[in-house]
Structure 1
Amino acid sequence: MTVVVVTDSSASLPAALATDLGVLSVPLHILVDDREFREGLDEFGEIDYGSSTVTTSAASPGDLREVYERALELSDGDGVVAVHISRKLSGTWEAGRQAVRDMDAAHRVRLVDSLSAGLGTGLPVLAAARRARAGEPLDVVYDSAVAAASRGRTFIVVNRTEQLRRGGRLSTAAAFFGSELVTKPILQIVDGKLELREKARTRSKAFTKLVAAAVDAAGDEGAAIAVQHLGAAEAANTLAGQLRDLIPDIREIIVAEFGPALGVHLGLGAVGALVVPGGCG
């Protein structure tokens, strides 16, 4: 058999692509008032992304162990590589570590901190899954995920940072920006932490800065690109078109929506560019 790759629902991989590569996913949890839903599995209707009563929680060790054990069985003992959202943004990676400790074949399960979120996690998952499909051994599949994660760069434009600050996901002092009523924040993920990168006076200028950051990160030797959004499909498609025109030798480009677990923190209108120089082949 082959190594099986596992991730969590925050990775936002298109379902058809994940199915084709045999990637298994563990759901994160959405809490709406006193009800709890599993992202990607449970129907929960429309979410008020600006509400303080809507929160998220990590996958549990029990959820993760169940999927790890199924993946290990599917691999026929070849092993499992689990690539998860940054441990500095979610407790999922730590829950995964607890799950592995309780497994009999713990040495056959490798955990990878993607140092990112959304398709910033999804692109390293693709790198690992393609190696696994090619029949590479556990060490090679693991190393490919770690390498893609270390090269990845994530940039996001949001309308407001209030939800991120409220949830403790934003590491830089809010005073850096002054009033968000007159500025648009551009964020970046650095070493797994979400930080304020710079500000712009208007949304159009924020997108100009986002494009420049993504182009600079991609370099000129080929890159895998992802664009994500929450309720801003037109802006995301425009951004994808600009990146296609400006980045030489794009190996692939994925456009997808942020899932609700990330959307709760980013808010409506968020748009991100995720870049892995060298690609995920």
Structure 2
Amino acid sequence: MPTAVVTDSTAYLPPGLAERHGLILVPLQIAVGAELRDENEISTAEALQRPATTSSPAPGRFAAAYEAAASAGATAVVSVHLAAAMSGTLDAARLAAKDAPVPVHVVDSGSIGMGLGFAALSAAAAALQGGTPAEVAAAAERRARLTHSLFYVDTLEHLRRGGRIGAAASLLGSALMVKPLLGIDDGRIAPLEKVRTSSRAIARLEELAVARAGDLPVDLGIQHLAAGPRAETLAARLRDRIPQVADVYVGEVGPVIGAHVGPGMLGVVVAPHL
């Protein structure tokens, strides 16, 4: 492709999808004990067994990706990443872009997980169709702007400890049995609703996803942490209830998100088509 598309590992794309779309992935890292490892080298379950902290890639990782793209024949790169408000990853990409051998357009998806993943896939589709670098970047930006990311967590404690709680801190004083529903707004975690039980929270998550989809043609990403059966059940229900659902991807998030949300997390990404 004349324009290569780079993204990072927190897109959590299903196995093989990045390769089929020609995406170049740069892994984030996680420190487990004294060891710093790429998150694709460690399972989420293993990371959760020990205290872990996350780390953005060094600019050199992005520089290597951009150089590899140029060596493979790309004349430009569009680099699509998780929200700047959540991580220093975007800053590292921008720093590397300054000395890249080809022009690099860095895009803030304003999201994470499949909210980022769908934006990167739209960029890859535009690149495969021969779009200019500006058109490829615009495809990622528009898909990110249209996409809704909703999720449920069993407890806010992991987000609080990781410093990623944002406006959802307003829920910390709630009764212990309150289950929070959260969303991503302008790259930050924001409270949506609070529900009394986990079963009601998941039912309400379903309702919100159906409402966000409406009658539009959409793709869905159902993501979870140690909640596979819940995720599969929710995916089946959404397939039945959303009239124009196209692709549905179900998967477990990796250790970078896992370190901040904790076991039991269940999320839905609703991504209208361009």
Q: Contact 1:223–1:249 at 8 Å: present in 2 too?
A: yes
Among 54, 57, 65, the alignment partner of 2:52 is: 54
Secondary structure in structure 1 of the residue aligned to 2:270: strand
Q: Contact 1:37–1:44 at 8 Å: present in 2 too?
A: no
Determine if the alignment matches structure 1 residue 35 to structure 2 residue 30.
no
**How far is the alpha carbon of 1:172 from its aligned partner?**
1.5
Among 110, 123, 143, the alignment partner of 2:105 is: 110
Among 166, 170, 176, the alignment partner of 2:165 is: 170
- Stretches of structure 2 that go unaligned for 5 or more consecutive residues are none
**How far is the alpha carbon of 1:77 from its aligned partner?**
3.7
Moved more, 229-238 or 169-178: 169-178
**How far is the alpha carbon of 1:65 from its aligned partner?**
1.0
Among 92, 97, 104, the alignment partner of 2:94 is: 97
**How far is the alpha carbon of 1:211 from its aligned partner?**
1.1
Moved more, 87-96 or 165-174: 165-174
* 1:70-219 equivalences in 2 (<5 Å): 70-74=68-72, 76-105=73-102, 108-172=103-167, 174-179=169-174, 181-219=176-214
- Stretches of structure 1 that go unaligned for 5 or more consecutive residues are none
Change (3 A) 1:246 1:64: same
Instruction: Give the letter aligned to residue 231 of structure 1.
Output: A
Spell out, residue by residue over 1:26-60, the C-alpha distance to the aligned partner (whole angstroms, 9 max, x if none): 010111121111111x3478435375x31101111
Instruction: Give the letter aligned to residue 5 of structure 2.
Output: V
Secondary structure in structure 2 of the residue aligned to 1:215: helix
Instruction: Give the letter aligned to residue 56 of structure 1.
Output: T
Change (3 A) 1:240 1:173: closer
Change (3 A) 1:180 1:70: farther
Change (3 A) 1:98 1:48: closer
Change (3 A) 1:50 1:172: farther
**How far is the alpha carbon of 1:203 from its aligned partner?**
0.7
Which residue in the other structure is 2:8 paired with? Answer: 8
**How far is the alpha carbon of 1:232 from its aligned partner?**
0.8
Secondary structure in structure 2 of the residue aligned to 1:234: helix
Determine if the alignment matches structure 1 residue 256 to structure 2 residue 251.
yes
| Partner Cα distance (2:11, 2:42) in 1 | 19
Change (3 A) 1:229 1:45: closer
**How far is the alpha carbon of 1:219 from its aligned partner?**
2.3
| Partner Cα distance (1:77, 1:119) in 2 | 25
The count of corresponding residues between Structure 1 and Structure 2 is 274
Instruction: Give the letter aligned to residue 65 of structure 1.
Output: A
Q: Structure 2 length normalisation: TM-score?
A: 0.94
Q: Contact 1:84–1:92 at 8 Å: present in 2 too?
A: yes
Which residue in the other structure is 2:18 paired with? Answer: 18
Q: Contact 2:66–2:101 at 8 Å: present in 1 too?
A: no
**How far is the alpha carbon of 1:135 from its aligned partner?**
2.2
**How far is the alpha carbon of 1:208 from its aligned partner?**
1.5
| Partner Cα distance (1:272, 1:63) in 2 | 29
Secondary structure in structure 1 of the residue aligned to 2:150: strand
Secondary structure in structure 1 of the residue aligned to 2:84: coil
Instruction: Give the letter aligned to residue 47 of structure 1.
Output: E
| Partner Cα distance (1:72, 1:130) in 2 | 19
Spell out, residue by residue over 1:119-163, the C-alpha distance to the aligned partner (whole angstroms, 9 max, x if none): 110011111111112222222111100100111110011111111
Instruction: Give the letter aligned to residue 62 of structure 1.
Output: G
Determine if the alignment matches structure 1 residue 243 to structure 2 residue 242.
no
RMSD between aligned residues: 1.7
| Partner Cα distance (1:262, 1:45) in 2 | 9
Change (3 A) 1:258 1:249: same
**How far is the alpha carbon of 1:201 from its aligned partner?**
0.7
Question: Equivalent pairs: percent with the same residue?
Answer: 39
Moved more, 134-143 or 3-12: 134-143
